Structure 1
Amino acid sequence: MISITSHFCYKSFEHFDPYPVTTMEYRLPTALSPIHYDLTLFTDLSQHKFRGAVEIDLKVNADTSEIVLNASELELSEVSVTIVGGEDEAFVPISQAIDAINQRAIFVFPKPFAAGSSLKLFIAFVGPLSGNLIGYYEGTWEHDGQKKFYTVTQFEPTAARRAFPCWDEPLLKATFAMSMISASKQQPYGKEDDIHGFLKDASSGDWKITRFDTSPLMSTYIVAYANGQFEFLEGSFTSPLSGKKRPIRVYGTPSSVHQGQYCLEVSEKVLPVYEEVFGIEYPLSKLDTLVIHDMDAYAMENWGLITGRAAAYLLDPKANNVRQKQEIVLMQFHEIAHMWFGNITTMEWWTYLYLNEGFATLMGELIIPDRMFPEWKLDSAFISAHIEHAMKQDNKLSSHPVEVDCPDANKINQIFDGLSYSKAASVLRMLANHVGVEDFLKGVSMYLQAHLYGNSVTGDLWRGVEEATGFNASEFMDAYISKGGFPVITVTESEETIHVTQARFLQKGTVEEADTVWHVPLNLLTVDSQGKASIDKIVLKSRTESYSVNLQQPFKLNAGTFGFYRVLYTPERFRQIAIDAARPNSVFNAGDRLGLVQDAFAACQCTINEAKQRTGSFDGVQRHTRILYLVLYFNALQSLSTAWWENDKVMHLLNEFRRFLFKPIASELGYEYSADENPDISLLRTCAISNLVSARDEELSNVLHCQIQLYTRFKHFHETRDSSLIPEELQGLIYTAAVRSGGEDAYLAIQQIIKDPRTPTEQLAAMQVLLEAMCTAEQTNLILSTIDFMGTQRDQDYTHFVVGLMKNQNAKRLYVEHFKKTYNEIHEKLKDGFSIGQIVESTFIPLTSEKDYKDTKAFFEDGKDTSKYALSVPRVLEFIQEKIAFIENSTDDLLNWLENWKERQ
């Protein structure tokens, strides 16, 4: 890590040599705490820098002559302190220093400030408008062929200190008043107003000032502001609790803001729902969403000013893309959930990040949208997305607990992962199901109301649920939150009895017992002699137990797949449950079927059972046309492809099987979308065509037909720029088919659209699907061209390139070598954001051989600074080891099944 270049403008400045991070507490001293910030910020876009002044009201908790706060990459000057209620004398520090590693400024004053007194601290500062997507940074957009600049903030988790000196910890809440001086605001700002001398070195022009109302108590990481030529769409919502009407706006650049209409509409609808569910009124006078082109994260829940990527938030008003609408709803509902989970009630420290992110995922991506869009069947989608995603991260020894210790800043960014989001949401969903969703929400409301404008830890949440339900939530949830991993329940049978045993599930080829004993909600579904189903909410609290069950009737554990665990039956019982689940009017619902298939594939990938005993779950899939089943099978087939991607025979047979599954669906549904068709039909069509593109074989007429259908549409678009033959749902697939079928000419045409988009829709598409299409090129020269091209694009898109290239069999090893050769450059550019760990994982996880394992291990042990992605390296190595074992143990079984599947149809 490069040392921070901050310094103080004092002749008496001296550099501070800090203690090693490993022996020094990361948290700030507690002798002082902030009460209020009065922040004035001057932004000069033409000079690419900002300057400001902040006056901070402080409470003195203990006698101290030092003031220690956070600052990073700022030049600080004019530091002074006055004692409130004392004489007007301003005290200046006798010494000051920078702790560059821990990002602190330390001021020492001539005498101690007494406990119980109040201070006003003044600091002036100057900082650069960098393009690294953190702190207060600069972004770009184009208008009439000219590059325009804007500025915006991304402070979570620890980057507010890059924008102004502050107490940058979630526990240290304060109120904020702010004034922004820029070239595009409301009130004139001239020399007579320039008490801080901002205009002294400013570029020429008219400067204006905007003053904002004082905020409620809030943490620094959700402070936000932006400056640029933005336009907005406006709506409103009326509070069902108070009757107050509040404005809602979606801001964006002039060329694209009209595509924010759908986001505006769903925001208007959801805010009253959140108020009613929590019984807590939205506390601010407005809610804005700013859609921007440069952002490391996809969206950020800044209080009153949500920020989000254009590619994720904008939708052509003429489009009826169900998938894209779902993504906008789930993302925006997630961020609005944070207005309560995180903003009003905030975790005490980043150890408890899941209290923010797990809840926002559960509420914003399942409970609330499911009430508003029941036709989307989001509970099943949650199983196939979040539970499976979390388990794939949590089935390793390199996993970490949901409640994870974060002693220093390097680790905080790394825990914004599938465990803090998806696992946390999954186990909270499990608790909600066990106690009843409505009672669970009552407990959540009690928790929030007990900590309004305050901070919380895990025990506070459990107390709220326990007060509402009388259920011991703390005992039930402890192992799922405080320990890594999750259980697998092995089921054996004897004389009308099932015997269940729990152990830790690991994907590494074995199931190993751990010291942990989980409280497992078995949710045992049984059927009586009259065919009536019932569910017994048994909680397994020991290593093993037995239960009486009529083995002549269907039964299943984890009914509805609400529990966060795997279930392993005998092969005979598994086949019987699969047969029962496939019958019309089965007692097993969609969640049961999804969970059954997921458990089967997970078992395939380790030595619990031979793969051939589990892949029977494919049989009969053609009887299910629900999109989620087919997506799940697609994902499972993709997971097989990630292991055997260098085995031509396996890949040929997998693709043949995929074509068999999806050709009839594509033939039946065709390539045209209708605004009034069932959402499932739209998604199913896209899924089928996507699979045919992925599994193409030029010798098979049906797949060639799919390729020609898509490529013909691209040719018409390229020649005429008429996009009427390109449904938004098929944009990415059409561009991919063009690159694969049209060769270098089509590749260069797509690259030109990215460089020079002619319409807002093209510009939006260039953010993601066009880039990903470039990554599917199969010729070596085009792959190398893509690798060169990705270095010229926005930093936020780098991950898209890497993920795309590592899905391309011909590109995988080429990019791995590129990453190794240019590691220092990539690391320096991206190390401070959220994406560096994902890039490392996306690059190396696809590797499959013993040599790959040894080379990768040696690469990261060779003097690399891995502190910014320390959690990713062991995960990568474990993934590679899993694939090695999977290939060694299961290749023959997989080939046998694939060669003979036709006989079972």
Structure 2
Amino acid sequence: MASLTSQDEHRLPTNVKARKYRLCCLFLGAKLAQPLHYDLAVHTDLEKLKFTGVVSVDLEVNDDTSKIVLNSLDLDIAPAKLVSDALQGEIATSTASIDKDKGRATFEFAKTLPKGSKARLTLPFVGKLTDSMIGYYISAYEQDGKKKYCALTQFEPVEARRAFPCWDEPLLKATFAITLVSHPDTVNLSNMQALSERVLPAAEVNASAEDSDILSPLQLDAGSYKVTKFATTPPMSTYLAAYANGDYKHLESSYTSPLSGKTRPLRIYSTPDVTHLTQFALDVKARALPIYEEIFKIEYPLPKLDTLIVAQFDAGAMENWGLITARQVIYMYDPEKSDILAKKRVVVTQSHECAHMWFGNIVTMSWWDNLWLNEGFASLMGEVIVMDKLYPEWKANSEFIDVHLSRALSLDAKRSSHPIEVPIHDAETINQLFDALSYSKAASMLRMLVAYVGEEKFLEGVTLYLKKRLYGNSVTRDLWEAIQEATGFDVPTLMNEWTLKIGYPVLTVKETDGGIVVRQDRFLDTGDAKDSENETIWQVPLQLLSTDASGKATVDSSLVLREREAKFAVDTTKPYKLNSNTNGVYRVSYTPERWLKIAEEAARPNSVFTLEDRMGLVSDAFELAQAGYTKTSSALDLAAGLENESEYLVWTSISSSLGSLINVWWEQKPEYDQLKAFRTRLFLPVVQRLGFEQKAGEDVDDTQLRSLAIATCASSGEKSVIEHLQGLWRKYLETNDESSIPADLVRTTLISAVRDGGDEDYKAAKDIYLKPVVTPTFRLAAISALCSTRNEALAQQTFDFLRNQVSNQDWHYFYGVLASNPVTRRLLTAFTKKHYEEIRSKFEGTALWSNLIKYSFSNLTKDEDIVDAQKFFEGKDVSKYNLALQQALDGIRTSSAWLKRSNEDVAAWLARNSSS
């Protein structure tokens, strides 16, 4: 394990405070900023794959100093120029040094700058445009059979320093005025609207009188150049600055502010090959922004909001203020050929990024230990509250349980978890915190708070928080105090443990005369929390559902468990349940007798347990069984009892839970095959009820349930389903028409074709992936298919293909499916180990690196797998992915313990239920 250094060692000295930057670069990006102002000019050379720049920074000197320290990485910096108002002239640089490990540049000057004075630092620099997907980088695409490049920035969290020398911390906000210089036939984009755009000969650009200090040092070669000057931004952090250059095309729309009546232009830019697939994403943005304004009572402050999508992008999307950037597969949608998942992906991502225009951009966390303030809020607002207004039929609040809550509870049940608000000791840690805790647990915690205080009052508090911190920075307490002011609840006391402490509780319920005794303990998925790991007492909103003599259900939202153990009144002769609607961030363990009654009630056609309740019960039952709180056979009984369930989202919980169980038992014969057969017995009647074809006017739930049931049966080897899918595949091969396969069956059809087919089917799937333009539904389906083969020779072809032809951004898609395929799971581990240095050099520094490590090891299940992994990583620098590695090893430990504890129980249950 890598040693950690103090947080202060990685913070910049504060003896000089940036008052104003002026940055000039042939094509450059700014992401993390300084307090008052940046001027930026950037020239991009897409032929030589380099950029050239100059940064001029107006400084306010806080202490007597002859030294200036700022962030810079992988840039060639020319001699610095410093002009001081107090010293009345230019001061020569005596020494300059670069610390690559810390990403810092230090400049020593011959004279001391006096405290309170102002100075101007100018730094010319040059950088390379690479395909790293961080800093200022290039993305490749194909047009008319030729490979072309475009360039864009990706600065979050600490990559602005790769694009220009700066003070790269979120607290150091500044305004930015950016100027871009480029080839005349390309498009320049940045955060703000263009004030002017001219095509000039190089001599006129270099001799520009208006911007001489940032343009003249560029020394452009002979020729003509487009010079685009953008308006100055509001104060913002460097990680939010953005710019791009390339042959972009766009679609345009607008929205009218419900607060001011002002109309703002909205555009979505892309490379020309995919522009026709971006209309839906543009429409979603136009619908979402007015909703956010109405909720927050704060108008979107910039004059425009663009979105740029490209082929190569590290994250899913990035909330740069005024210029959202994203990977194109997430934003592309064809109403004739894309499935419902593709449509949801567009809406979720676009709404999430629009939420950041307020959470993260108008108000920004002070330091990365409060990342959750950005991402948790964007997840809750964008993917639940606003999405529910956009598409209420999608039941976003219910789906949240499967998409976010279950994901968060799974990760946070591991010893290697971390608090939502975690101290950041070094730059390597920051990228690792963009995980299920900063996003999903944070959003789940906020959703729990909404259920406790009420959505209306919660949003009043949020609006108050935003208005108090407008254009500034914040910490967690700022939010809690604002919600407390709006609601009257003691929110800091209620919520502190949820953000500051690791893990979450399991509530153990025992029935007594007149009520129940509820005890809280930290939940670990290995079921063996030590006393030293079980010291936290959470404030737990119980959300107690109970029923009266008539069968009517009521929920008491006022009850809070504030101590280790307490008694609560409830009629235990009637159905009851803690964590009504599964709003809480915890598990609930009942006695075996109560679980039987809960299962009976959940299976009733008119159960008092809501859709959300039933989803949570399934998840709890299997996770508690994994940890040893209940028998796995009891969880299987619950799933079997829900065979007549009608709600799609409950079936997703059943499918996910059974999938997790099967995933752990993958090397246990014959139980593995028997578990798949049981899963088929549950899902095949759903296929038979709904049929294979979508009906006119069909409910969206039925469409999704049909797809889920067919996919589940196909993966379990059900012949009738596979035969139907093979028919669809043959029709596609005959016609080469994507629309010949129903959009919602594309993924399952392609997977089945390769998994149950031969070399020609494999080649056809590869050809789909290699098409220059293909809908995301088909492209992602082709990836899944290539990774789902049961033929080891074809699997080896997939690994060779991955190394030699797959774009960097698609690796994690390949890894995810390869890790889930029993045939390729151990091959993937061996592949990563064999090519470790090659993969490290390709992905180190990106958010994808941690994911690749986790996929490579987390689905293994034997104790010797842990020993083998530890031996492999011994002596390696794991600092950039240590959290992911430890989580992967914990996953192996959990699976191994579950197998040892429950294999006999599962085998006995399967024997009893083999023919039922």
TM-score between the two structures when normalised by the length of structure 1: 0.94
Letter in 2 for 1:729: D
- Partner-residue secondary structure (3-state), 2:820: coil
What's 1:59 paired with? 60
Q: How far is 1:48 from its partner?
A: 0.4
Amino acid at match of 2:899: I
Partners of 1:51 and 1:198 within 8 A in 2: no
Distance 2:476 2:387 in 1: 25
SS in 2 for 1:58: strand
1:324 and 2:339 aligned: no
Q: State whether residues 316 and 761 of structure 1, in contact with CA within 8 Å, keep that contact through their aligned partners in structure 2.
A: no
Residue from 684, 687, 692 that aligns with 1:663: 684
Task: Give the distance between the partners of 1:544 and 1:839, measured in 2 at CA.
Answer: 42
Gaps of 5+ in 1: 2-18, 697-702
Aligned to 1:681: 702
Aligned to 1:16: none
Q: Which residue pairs with 1:850 in the alignment?
A: 863
Q: Given residue 54 of structure 1, which amino acid in structure 2 is its aligned partner?
A: V
Q: Which moved more, 1:55-64 or 1:433-442?
A: 55-64
Aligned equivalents of 1:727, 1:165: Cα separation in 2: 51
Change (3 A) 1:74 1:599: same
5 Å-filtered alignment, 1:583-594, equals 583-594=604-615
Structure 1: which amino acid aligns with 2:388?
D
Given that 2:255 and 2:286 are in contact with CA atoms closer than 8 Å, whether structure 1 keeps it comes out as yes
Separation in 2, partners of 1:355, 1:442: 17
Provide the aligned length of Structure 1 versus Structure 2: 875
Q: Match for residue 692 of structure 1?
A: 713
Give the structure 1 partner of residue 38 of structure 2: 37
Residue 609 of structure 1 is aligned with which of 630, 649, 652?
Answer: 630
Identical residues among aligned pairs (%): 44
Shift of 1:32: 1.8
- Cα distance in 2 for residues equivalent to 1:611 and 1:189: 73
Residues of 1 paired with 2:265 and 2:693: CA distance?
Answer: 38
Q: Say if 1:81 and 1:122, in contact at 8 Å, map to a contact too.
A: yes
Q: Per-residue deviation at 1:84?
A: 4.2
Residues 1:733 and 2:748 are matched in the alignment: yes
Asked if the contact 1:642–1:846 (Cα under 8 Å) also holds between the matched residues in 2, the reply is: yes
Q: Provide the rounded CA distance (Å) in 2 between the counterparts of 1:83 and 1:200.
A: 25
Q: What residue number does 2:9 align with?
A: 25
**Bigger Cα displacement from structure 2, 335-344 vs 89-98:** 89-98
Q: 1:825 aligns with which of 810, 827, 838?
A: 838
Query: Where do 1:711-860 residues align within 5 Å?
Result: 711-757=726-772, 760-761=773-774, 764-765=776-777, 767-792=779-804, 793-860=806-873
Q: Partner letter of residue 785 of structure 1?
A: Q
Partner SS for 1:867: coil
Distance 1:198 1:754 in 2: 45
Alpha-carbon shift at residue 745 of structure 1 (Å): 1.0
Deviations 1:397-437 (A, max 9, x none): 11100001112110000000000000000011111111111
| Structure 2 partner of 1:570 | 591
SS at match of 1:489: strand
Runs of 5+ consecutive residues of structure 2 not aligned to the other structure: 19-35, 188-196, 208-214
Q: Give SS of 1:871's match.
A: helix
Bigger relative CO (Cα 8 Å, ≥ 6 apart): 2
- Relative distance call for 1:115 and 1:845 in structure 2 (3 A) is same
- 657-666 or 526-535, which deviates more: 526-535
The answer to whether the 8 A contact 2:60-2:117 is kept is yes
- Are 1:179 and 1:210, in contact at CA under 8 Å, matched by a contact in 2? yes
Residue in structure 2 matched with residue 541 of structure 1 by the alignment: 562
Give 1:361 deviation, angstroms. Answer: 0.4
- Partner of 2:554, secondary structure, is strand
Q: CA 1:649–1:595 in 2, change beyond 3 Å: closer, same or farther?
A: same
**Aligned-partner Cα distance in 2 for 1:320–1:761:** 10
* More displaced 10-residue stretch of structure 1: 63-72 or 511-520: 511-520
1:211-230 per-residue CA deviation (whole Å, 9 max, x = no partner) reads 10000000000111111111
Deviation at 1:838, TM superposition (A): 1.1
Counterparts in 2 of 1:675 and 1:242: CA distance versus 1, 3 Å? farther
Higher mean C-alpha deviation, range 411-420 or range 827-836: 827-836
The match for 1:699 is none
| Cross-structure match for 2:908 | 896
Range with bigger deviation, 146-155 or 312-321: 312-321
Match for 1:642: what amino acid? Answer: N
Q: Does residue 1:515 correspond to 2:535, yes or no?
A: yes
Please state whether the residue corresponding to 1:648 is helix, strand or coil: coil
Deviation at 1:319, TM superposition (A): 3.9
Alignment of 1:435-450 (within 5 A): 435-450=453-468
Counterparts of 1:192-591 in structure 2, within 5 Å, are 192-195=204-207, 196=215, 200=219, 202=221, 206-319=224-337, 321-513=339-531, 514-536=534-556, 537-591=558-612
DSSP 3-state at the match of 2:521 = strand
Deviations 1:252-299 (CA, angstroms, capped at 9, x unpaired):
111211111111111101101101111111000000111110001011
Aligned to 2:22: none
Return the alpha-carbon distance in structure 2 between the equivalents of residues 205 and 21 of structure 1: 50
Higher mean alpha-carbon deviation, 798-807 vs 164-173, is at 798-807
Q: Deviations over 1:8-64 (max 9, x none)?
A: xxxxxxxxxxx9955961111111222211111000000000001121122222222
Q: 3-state SS of the aligned residue for 1:624? A: coil
TM-score, L = length of structure 2: 0.93
Q: What letter is aligned with 1:401? A: P
Moved more, 166-175 or 535-544: 535-544
How far the C-alpha of 1:725 sits from its partner, in A, is 1.4
Going from structure 1 to structure 2, the CA distance change for 1:54 and 1:430 (only over 3 Å counts) comes to same
* Cross-structure match for 2:160: 160
Letter in 2 for 1:83: S
Following superposition, the deviation at residue 199 of structure 1 comes to 6.8
* Distance in 2 (alpha carbons) for counterparts of 1:104 and 1:600: 51
Tell whether the 8 Å contact from 2:7 to 2:426 is kept in structure 1 after alignment. Answer: no
- Residue 870 (str. 1) matches residue 882 (str. 2): yes
Task: Give the direction of change, closer, same or farther, for the CA distance of 1:505–1:823 in structure 2 (3 Å limit).
Answer: same
| Structure 1 residue 902, shift from structure 2 partner | 5.6
Distance 1:381 1:555 in 2: 23
Letter in 1 for 2:650: Y
Structure 1 stretch 868-877 or stretch 297-306: which is displaced more?
A: 868-877
CA contact (8 A) 1:509 1:886 kept: no
d(CA) in 2 for partners of 1:888, 1:855: 19
Q: Deviations over 1:463-497 (max 9, x none)?
A: 10111011111111111100110000100112222
Q: Encode CA deviations 1:352-390: one digit per residue, 9 max, x unaligned.
A: 000000000010011111122211111111112211100
In structure 2, give the amino acid aligned to 1:52.
G
Question: Against the structure 1 CA distance between its residues 531 and 706, is the aligned structure 2 distance closer, same or farther, given a 3 Å change threshold?
Answer: closer
Query: Which of 719, 741, 744 is 1:704 aligned to?
Result: 719
2:238 corresponds to which letter in structure 1?
A: T
How far apart are the structure 2 equivalents of 1:65 and 1:791? Answer: 50
After TM superposition, the structure 1 stretch with the greater mean CA deviation from structure 2, 643-652 or 225-234, is 643-652
8 Å CA contact 2:384–2:400 kept in 1: the answer is yes
The match for 2:76 is 75
Q: Secondary structure at the match of 1:25?
A: helix
Report the CA distance between 1:446 and its aligned residue. Answer: 0.6
Distance, in Å, in 1 between the alignment partners of 2:504 and 2:182 is: 52
- SS in structure 2 at match of 1:392: helix
Residue 132 (structure 1) shift: 0.7
Partner of 2:670, secondary structure, is: helix
User: 1:138 maps to what in 2?
Assistant: 138
Stretch moving more, 120-129 or 585-594: 585-594
Q: What secondary structure, in the 3-state scheme, does the structure 1 residue paired with 2:851 have?
A: helix
CA–CA distance in 1 between the matches of 2:614 and 2:108?
A: 65
The offset of 1:766, in angstroms, is 6.2
Q: Which residue of 2 aligns with 1:619?
A: 640
Partners in 1 of 2:697 and 2:65 — Cα distance?
68
Q: CA RMSD in A?
A: 1.8
